[in-house]
Structure 1
């Protein structure tokens, strides 16, 4: 049987929201909440003959697409006396979800509002991301979880001696990232994680990640109905509609010994709830979390493959970072940032997150255990094993350059809201002046920057000649091909101006599973359970409780796929390239 390998040497940004403590540690030389770009070599082994057997005969595309050079950065001529900076408005807008007492660390779900800030491509270097982070419950554990040689031990010493907040994390968020390769007016959903004290990166499901010839276990493609482009899942046009997100512990494999440690049975699985898709998308292989504990006994049995998530409190954040233009006019310092637009409902609100829910073991985990022995899978998460977590906002925590920003409350306030049966149902912005338009103009007052109206700003700052350069389209993600025939592929055109190519694998033959080197018995059990999931959990099975208010967003239609004939169950699509459209 002919085989080939795809060798990937891509520069990928693994990004997401993570622990606040890590984000605020100024001693870190590497920003831990939005991981820096890292070059990682990966290998994909694809069975060309098997792949061709399940690809429709009309498919004529072969292998990954070729990348194009990066676009040249946009050059903007600014009037004299105007300076530009990448460090404009930055920081976090935050709320806390107060978790329950009891055994409710087996899952977390919530709804996020989705909207576009801009009419076209965002300005270069804009970051605007809404999400949260899940860490293992090691509360009151005082031994050192991060081994010597990890990034956290080197640069986040303030989190010692346990390093529990920077040990491991699951991230996932909707937003705009400076590292995106295909900037778009609409935000995207991306998933990432801190698997080993911020030392290595891993992101897109289905691929094999390697660093210094070591395989880095990571995300595994589970859905046979939705693609996961490396630049993020795209949506139809949105203006405040909601995306439901749930991370649930599922027992997709049994504990076993590997490299001298016990790998746990928790496969943390992403479920999405949209208007046109509902269900599991991908999961973190348990081996992802056990790897950092090898040869470090204090961390044994302390990773997310063994532990529930910390429910004491969860921070939900909107993380902002914009460029700025500044000038000195008549002896006073003035500044301007790109205009950020927000959707506003009939009550003058912009909702960031709502309906935060924690889950117990019997919400879905125990039912999947029973399914391995032949029982049917549950039709939804068991509501009797869930509990609402009220949200409460924090104060403003934004800066401009190195100085705090004040006066925002004249325009917009941070609020959390209740319903008749839910305290802290949602949180976000309550608008006062100019609803939906965040303050763009600032005047320095001593050691602070004061938000001001456009009408109170000098003409030098309000001039239409002042524009921000747009984000550029970069080369894309595409592996070079070697050692044999290329697979037949299908492709989808995305609304960010890119094309993804993907091919179908039998579930346990996707590269991310093959790299785990499971034995035949393990693979047989896993394949059987995934086939049951594909049969019984259709793309419109409603797992989460519907949102208390609001409508669901729609994933872009082209991202949704139908398995080819003969591969309706037990096969999954894996994206092998994402490049600029012709």
Structure 2
């Protein structure tokens, strides 16, 4: 028991895990089945924490897409031997953990390079959570090494934007500006019937920011279909995201991993402290976090894209509103817990805020207290009583606990993300500039000689056409990338090697390459594809991520990140 005469400044408390868990979320009215070809919305981007913390994971508002297998009532979609099959509570079909598209804007415990603001990252789970795919080369932060060839699943599509494995960074310190993103099914390839029956749906990620608009990457359809052959389970053919409509069912802020401090006062009462979590607020005490939630049918883009591919009928890429529907949103009441123990007093009549749907079908939080200037602060302190944690104000925490003085551990720069696709060390004639001369905001390119030098391993895999190039990002990391012909990028190697059971025909590869070349020519990054938001301003992506193809590689080539490491100071 602590003495009343104890001096808080000398108290050292051990940081603990499991500080906060819950889903601050919204529902919406039912969606007609034909609107399963895409989903998108605009999400606020802001620094939820004011310094980069270790052991911290909260996803800002996002959604989860799964294939619609509602016709299957009792047969398992996750084969024996997969990770998710062990989760018995997900049975009997395991449809919610069979395949997913996740990700979005947020903070993840596996981030290697934290810098305060959040990042945007894609994520897909093609095989019952056996592995995850978060970029054109790496998993969702779970490994330093690039994924094996047969697990690569995202193809780099944009020739103007880098996609680092640690996520897409933003310019400056955004404070409630919006990022639009949509997952849309596009038929880049035809369905396959042979040994690996595969649908034609390539789930493609579109972004809408102030300085970049357009598609950035897509999931290769075989990413979803090959689980059936791998586990010799024919029932799964035609049931993955390559073939089935996608369903989502709302969105949420996923509070996953938050540290805490805990201490007792002289009477033995337990108090807890969380990191400061802040939200953008307006003069009315509103935090508007999501707007323009839209579902799409194939009329929105799929049909016109296919006509462009097959018949040459021009497709602008702009989503057709005739194939769009905006469901009415409804808020949910959140259940919060700390180390499995329920927390009360955060939301509701006695709480700090309510989740609301504001006029214009915008979702967010209506604050009743905790607003400081143009930022609102989530309750940081709690007292344990009657088998629950109760949210309290800082003034209610006894000084003797020392909680007020505790500081959460900051994140250190992580290990590099590496790959073995190319030999990164250039020749003597193509040495990069010393890292301490790198600009923090402008790309730094190698001397011109490197544009014609090739450092890949000979006769093993397709070679890049230009590189290496290096840029320093807002998170303090240094990214190395090369330019590849689109169809020669690492994500396609498993489908382009001679003799590989997954190998594509020369005709299929040529047709896909030609289609991407048309997109690079016609789909520019300075016009709308998603309809613009009705409220607020768009956020800016980190300018260092915006690249220009080298001379001669303007069309049909894409930048592929091969290394991300901490930059020297």
Could you say which TM-score interval applies, normalised by the shorter chain? Answer: 0.7 to 0.9
- What is the CA–CA distance in structure 2 between the aligned matches of 1:562 and 1:113, rounded to whole Å? 28
Alignment match of 1:485 (pick from 455, 464, 467): 455
Distance 2:130 2:544 in 1: 35
- The structure-2 alpha-carbon separation of the partners of 1:201 and 1:418, relative to structure 1 and needing over 3 Å to count, comes to closer
Q: Which residue of 2 aligns with 1:443?
A: 383
Q: Is the 8 A contact 1:81 1:327 kept in 2?
A: no
Listed one character per residue, the Cα deviations across residues 250-269 of structure 1 (whole Å, up to 9, x for unaligned) are 000011245x2311100000
Matches within 5 A, 1:95-134: 95-120=26-51, 122-130=52-60, 131-134=62-65
1:232 to 152, 167, 173: 167
The counterpart of 2:414, out of the listed 469, 474, 494, is: 474
Report the counterpart of residue 272 of structure 1 in structure 2: 207
Structure 1 match to 2:480: 501
Displacement of 1:161 in angstroms is 2.0
Paired residues of 2:295 and 2:326 also in contact (CA < 8 A): yes
Q: How far off its partner does 1:543 sit?
A: 1.1
C-alpha contact 1:336 1:461 (8 A) present in aligned 2? no
Q: Which residue of 2 aligns with 1:244?
A: 180
Q: How far apart are the structure 2 equivalents of 1:288 and 1:379? A: 24
Question: Which of 344, 363, 374 is the aligned partner of 2:281?
Answer: 344
Equivalent pair of 1:348/1:430 in contact (CA under 8 Å):
yes
Describe the shift of the 1:320–1:433 C-alpha distance in structure 2 as closer, same or farther (beyond 3 A): farther
Q: Tell me how far 1:213 sits from its aligned partner.
A: 7.1
Contact 2:263 2:403 in 1 (8 A): no
Instruction: Indicate conservation of the 8 Å contact 1:217/1:516, yes or no.
Output: no
Secondary structure (helix, strand or coil) at the match of 1:291 reads helix
- Rounded to whole Å, the distance in 1 between the matches of 2:345 and 2:147 is 50
Map 1:131-530 → 2, pairs under 5 A: 131-142=62-73, 143-153=75-85, 155-205=86-136, 215-236=150-171, 237-257=173-193, 260-294=195-229, 295-310=232-247, 313-329=249-265, 330-372=267-309, 373-409=311-347, 410-419=350-359, 422=360, 425-435=361-371, 436-461=376-401, 465-479=405-419, 485=455, 488-517=467-496, 518-530=504-516
What is the alpha-carbon distance in structure 1 between the residues aligned to residue 150 and residue 403 of structure 2?
53
Give the TM-score, by structure 1 length.
0.82
Verify the 8 A CA contact 1:152 1:166 in the aligned structure 2.
Answer: yes
Query: Structure 2 CA distance, aligned partners of 1:145 and 1:279?
Result: 34
SS in structure 2 of the partner of residue 272 of structure 1: strand
- Shift, 1:414, TM fit: 2.9
Q: Give the Cα separation in 2 of the matches to 1:316 and 1:286.
A: 27
Q: Figure out how many residues of one structure are paired with residues of the other and give that number.
A: 498
Aligned with residue 571 of structure 1, among 545, 557, 560 = 557
Return the match for 2:518 from 519, 532, 548: 532
Return closer, same or farther for 1:159/1:556 CA change in 2, 3 Å cut-off.
same
Taking a change above 3 Å as real, the CA distance of residues 314 and 411 of structure 1, as seen in their structure-2 partners, is: closer
CA shift in 2, pair 1:459/1:78, >3 Å: closer
Structure 1's 318 and 159: CA in aligned 2 closer, same or farther, altered over 3 A?
closer
Inter-partner Cα distance in structure 1 for 2:161 and 2:112: 21
Q: Residues 287-313 of structure 1: CA distance to partner in whole angstroms, max 9, x if unpaired? A: 0000112221221111111111125x2
How big is the shift at 1:227?
0.5
TM-aligned CA deviation for residue 181 of structure 1: 0.5
SS in 1 for 2:250: strand
How big is the shift at 1:462? 5.8
Q: Does the 8 Å CA contact 1:132/1:316 hold for their aligned counterparts?
A: yes
CA contact (8 A) 1:411 1:434 kept: no
Distance 1:538 1:456 in 2: 56
Structure 1 residue 510 displacement after superposition: 0.8
Secondary structure of the residue that 1:133 maps to in structure 2? coil
Native 8 Å contact 2:273 2:403 kept in 1? no
State which drifts further: 365-374 or 471-480: 471-480
Matched with 2:24 is 93
What SS does structure 2 have at the residue aligned with 1:361?
Answer: coil
C-alpha deviation, 1:515, in angstroms: 2.1
Following the alignment from structure 2 to structure 1, what is the Cα–Cα distance between the partners of residues 12 and 167?
39
C-alpha spacing 1:578/1:217, structure 2 compared with 1 (3 Å): closer
**CA RMSD, 1 decimal:** 2.2
Give the aligned partner of residue 536 of structure 2: 550
How many angstroms apart in 2 are the aligned matches of 1:418 and 1:213?
A: 46
- Structure 2 distance, partners of 1:324, 1:212, is 33
1-side partners of 2:233 and 2:114: how far apart? 41
By percentage of residues, which structure has more strand?
A: 1
Give the Cα–Cα distance (whole angstroms) in 2 for the partners of residues 118 and 279 of structure 1: 29
For each residue in 1:344-388, what CA deviation from the matched residue of structure 2 results, as whole angstroms up to 9, or x when unmatched?
Answer: 023211123221100011100000111012111135100111000
> How far 1:320 moved relative to its partner?
4.3
Q: Secondary structure at the match of 1:323?
A: coil
Higher relative contact order (CA 8 A, sep 6+): 1
Question: Residue 390 of structure 1: CA displacement?
Answer: 2.0
Question: Any conservation in 2 of the 1:267–1:305 contact (CA below 8 Å)?
Answer: yes
* Cα-to-partner distance string for 1:220-267 (whole Å, 9 max, x where unaligned): 000001100100000012001111010000000011245x23111000
Distance 1:78 1:141 in 2: 60
Deviation at 1:439, TM superposition (A): 0.7
Task: Give the conservation status (yes or no) of the 8 Å contact 2:41–2:290.
Answer: yes
Cα deviation, residue 81, structure 1: 7.0
Q: Tell me if structure 2 keeps the 8 A contact 1:86–1:323.
A: yes
User: Matches of 2:186 and 2:113 in 1, distance apart?
Assistant: 33
